[in-house]
Amino acid sequence: TIDPGALWDDILTTARFGATPKGGLRRLALTEEDRQVRAWFTRTCTALGATVWTDTLGNQFARVSGTDASLPPIALGSHLDTQPTGGRFDGIIGVLGGIAVLRALRETKHRTRHPVEIVNWTNEEGSRFAPAMLASGVFAGVFTEDYARNRQDREGVSFGAALEAIGAIGEESCGAHGLAAYLELHIEQGPILEAEGCVIGTVTGVQGMRWYDVTVTGRDSHSGTTPMPLRADALQAAALLMTAVREIALAHAPEAVGTVGSVEVLPNSRNVVPGEVLFTVDFRDPRDETVMAMENAFRAKARAVAEEHGVTVEIRDIWDSPAVPFDRRLIDAVSESARELGLPAREIVSGAGHDAAYVARIVPTTMIFVPCAGGLSHNEEESATPDDVAAGANVLLRSLLKADAL
Amino acid sequence: TIDPGALWDDILTTARFGATPKGGLRRLALTEEDRQVRAWFTRTCTALGATVWTDTLGNQFARVSGTDASLPPIALGSHLDTQPTGGRFDGIIGVLGGIAVLRALRETKHRTRHPVEIVNWTNEEGSRFAPAMLASGVFAGVFTEDYARNRQDREGVSFGAALEAIGAIGEESCGAHGLAAYLELHIEQGPILEAEGCVIGTVTGVQGMRWYDVTVTGRDSHSGTTPMPLRADALQAAALLMTAVREIALAHAPEAVGTVGSVEVLPNSRNVVPGEVLFTVDFRDPRDETVMAMENAFRAKARAVAEEHGVTVEIRDIWDSPAVPFDRRLIDAVSESARELGLPAREIVSGAGHDAAYVARIVPTTMIFVPCAGGLSHNEEESATPDDVAAGANVLLRSLLKADAL
Ligand SMILES: NC(=O)NCCC(=O)O
Ligand SMILES: NC(=O)NCCC(=O)O
């Protein structure tokens, strides 16, 4: 079993890089804070006897050899970047859980057949650079390296320039080495495990998700002198479309979700009728047909609002990540590991995107969820108990050993 | 009569300070661009033989003496600051029209009884520092100097610090000298004069207006994993309140207007359900009771939305500027001047706030409007014809002479 104290210590240590006053983290991808936690990853894994390297998109790998040099590695990983007001567990326990497994293997001198590799994927959150899971997506062949390098943050800085700025570009071309299997430990980020008293979620797949950028263009005018009927108010039209996002999700209850997370208003002056509004839309459901139906409903609403309000509405597709099924043999390995450890478990579909969703396209993959308080994530108050995180890492260790024996 | 060519040249010259690629102006109060146009004001008025000085809040005065040194001056003025995407006429023609009057008096060697004073009031727009008409408000005793100095822009820079940064603080305490009358030439910023083929609007007063800052507080959470019923989505609640602003204004048709001009979302990440939204509200109507009724309707809606969406809504009063009637004798002087010049004119109530609205509290005051294309203002495409601007300046000159004789 893994050393729960050392794992919790690692959580406290990494929580220093980008710590916020409210006890959360602000460690956006490829910032100075990200550079610091990457250096910590290299130091820590090297000290555990692993060979550490970085690929051309900043993905970090730490490998220990197995008994059979002809076999590809089994990878354990997740990401160390966070949301602007993120927590100390999202992604992080997947990487630190892998490090805890490395530590356990080293202390018990256990040699697996396959090499074991811990991975820290670049820009999973998608907050600084959309879409999410960008570098694991390139690893899996979903995006090209050029596509990734040209993504821009809101200030216009490209992903490629940001990689360079923090010195995170390695020599191995992204995706150049193969994997035998991939396992990712993560907090659930939702309320189900906690509500049902489960410690382990055996993740059967990831729901479908689509992201859009919407631009509403009207006409700037004076807030005091422009009669209501003569306005082309981009914000009034946008506000109707924002409320439509929620209504469309509710119309596909209970599983569908729809979110407007980001808004920019121009010129953003209190006595100017806004001439332009940009906002984002995020639609998700376990069934791809439902996501598509939500998109169609939104496009229809956008046409109606544009006509009625005398504005134009442009909808740009930013991301389309269809629903992903995980590998049945690995799912069973996780279930069995939980059972052996006496941990209450249930199967669950992930509401969030994860690097595992892309890696699953080319490698047998699954995930292990542990509960987080109140299902709260993407929030500085995100929290998980030391016991649950340790339980998840123990299931990760056992699942690795089972995968190694398959 | 005034020299129309020299006036138009001044408009083209001042349009260089803060020029935008789209042909408009971005000359927010107390920025480097504002410093440049202030220096131009000083140079130009000094060359016309005026004594120029600045008061403690950056208001600029340029005075030429009259024949009776015991009389207080008649002031002509407006403002040289603009919106972030503003035009070349709003405020500007009031100051440059005054300068055109100075030039005409000088060239004809005409001496008025009263001294004549051209004024450039600081921070009329209210875009960088709310409320609008801040320094004319202090001049008129509506606000204290301390209140003005402590206003902050969105970056937290105070009005006092911004004044200091561009060296715009003079010695005369704001409001220390009295005026005999105040006349302000301005574009209408609305569609009425153009629609009715009038060149001159004889302004009888300014409608009532109130500004608010609204903060909606919910809870950040994950956009993919948080079921719709468990959300406390600050943006969905805010969007409903934004649409309510429009509906409330429409319910008080035809004169009422309601606007949300500025929005900020936190953390503003596309896969985070927003935990906090700040937005502004601007309600106006010629009747103060109607403005009050709109406020009450909005507060009731805010309570209902807060309850239904599990968020809190805080409404802060930022500005309350009741309806203002102008001075009947000066209104008549403007009407008569237009008639003498053969210019089609009508009486009109201003939908926009103006420095004249505050100065009117302590000094007999009125305004002269000229049309602008399509009624469009607070827009880089704002435009007025050389003929209409010159006609307005000629009415300003005649009205000054009539006021001087009263
Ligand atoms: N796990 C996680 O929060 N990933 C970010 C991508 C998403 O929005 O689902
Ligand atoms: N004239 C003008 O645009 N003033 C700004 C204050 C207002 O919003 O009415």
pLDDT of residue B103: 98
> Are the Cβ atoms of B132 and A222 closer than 8 angstroms?
no
When CB atoms are compared, the residue of B221, B240, B262 closest to A376 is: B221
When CB atoms are compared, the residue of B188, B260, B265 closest to A262 is: B265
pLDDT of residue A74: 98
Helices A386-405 and A328-340, packing angle to 10 deg: 130
Cβ < 6 A, ligand 1 pocket: A 90, 124-126, 132, 189, 352-354; B 222-224, 271
CA distances, B377 to each of B48, B53, B88 (Å): 30, 30, 10
Instruction: Find, among A3, A6, A132, A8, the residue nearest to A385 by Cα.
Output: A8
Strand-pair category, B345-350 with B181-187: unpaired
Contacts with A, B 91-150, CB within 8 Å: 125-127, 130, 132
> Are the Cβ atoms of B351 and A225 closer than 8 angstroms?
yes
Name the 3-class secondary structure at A196.
helix
Asked if A83 is an interface residue toward chain B (Cβ–Cβ < 8 A), one would say: yes
Q: CA B4, CA B17: separation in Å to the nearest integer?
A: 21
Q: What percent of chain B has pLDDT over 70?
A: 100
When CB atoms are compared, the residue of B226, B257, B378 closest to A272 is: B378
Would you place residue B230 in the very low, low, confident or very high pLDDT band (cuts 50, 70, 90)? very high
Greatest Cα pair distance, chain A, in angstroms, is 79
Asked whether B233 and B193 are in contact (CB, 8 A), the reply is: no
* Helix or strand (DSSP H, E) at A52: strand A51-54
Instruction: Report chain B residues whose CB lies below 8 A from the CB of A222.
Output: 189-190, 351-352, 376-379
Average pLDDT over residues B342-368: 98
Name the 3-class secondary structure at A185.
strand
Ligand number with the minimum distance to the CA of B284: 2
* Amino acid letter, residue B194: E
For chain A, the first-to-last Cα distance in angstroms comes to: 20
Would you place residue B283 in the very low, low, confident or very high pLDDT band (cuts 50, 70, 90)? very high
Mind listing the pLDDT tens digit for each residue in B365-378?
Answer: 999 999 999 999 99
Burial class (CB in 10 A: 0-12, 13-18, 19+), A155: exposed
For chain B, the first-to-last Cα distance in angstroms comes to: 20
Per-residue pLDDT of chain A (406 residues), as tens digits, is 999 999 999 999 999 999 999 999 999 999 999 999 999 999 999 999 999 999 999 999 999 999 999 999 999 999 999 999 999 999 999 999 999 999 999 999 999 999 999 999 999 999 999 999 999 999 999 999 999 999 999 999 999 999 999 999 999 999 999 999 999 999 999 999 999 999 999 999 999 999 999 999 999 999 999 999 999 999 999 999 999 999 999 999 999 999 999 999 999 999 999 999 999 999 999 999 999 999 999 999 999 999 999 999 999 999 999 999 999 999 999 999 999 999 999 999 999 999 999 999 999 999 999 999 999 999 999 999 999 999 999 999 999 999 999 8
pLDDT of residue B337: 98
Q: What Rg value do the Cα atoms of chain A yield, rounded?
A: 22
Q: What is the best residue among B25, B354, B369, B377 to mutate for testing ligand 2's pocket, by most ligand atoms within 8 Å of CB? A: B354
**Residue B124: CB within 6 Å of ligand 2?**
yes
* Amino acid letter, residue B98: G
Mind listing the pLDDT tens digit for each residue in A288-344?
Answer: 999 999 999 999 999 999 999 999 999 999 999 999 999 999 999 999 999 999 999
Mind listing the pLDDT tens digit for each residue in B79-131?
Answer: 999 999 999 999 999 999 999 999 999 999 999 999 999 999 999 999 999 99
Instruction: Find, among A116, A115, A98, the residue nearest to A14 by Cα.
Output: A98
Contacts with B, A 235-274, CB within 8 Å: 235-236, 239-240, 242-243, 246, 249-250, 253-254, 256-263, 265-274
Average pLDDT over residues B159-185: 98
Asked whether A224 and B354 are in contact (CB, 8 A), the reply is: no
Mind listing the pLDDT tens digit for each residue in B313-344?
Answer: 999 999 999 999 999 999 999 999 999 999 99
Would you place residue B213 in the very low, low, confident or very high pLDDT band (cuts 50, 70, 90)? very high
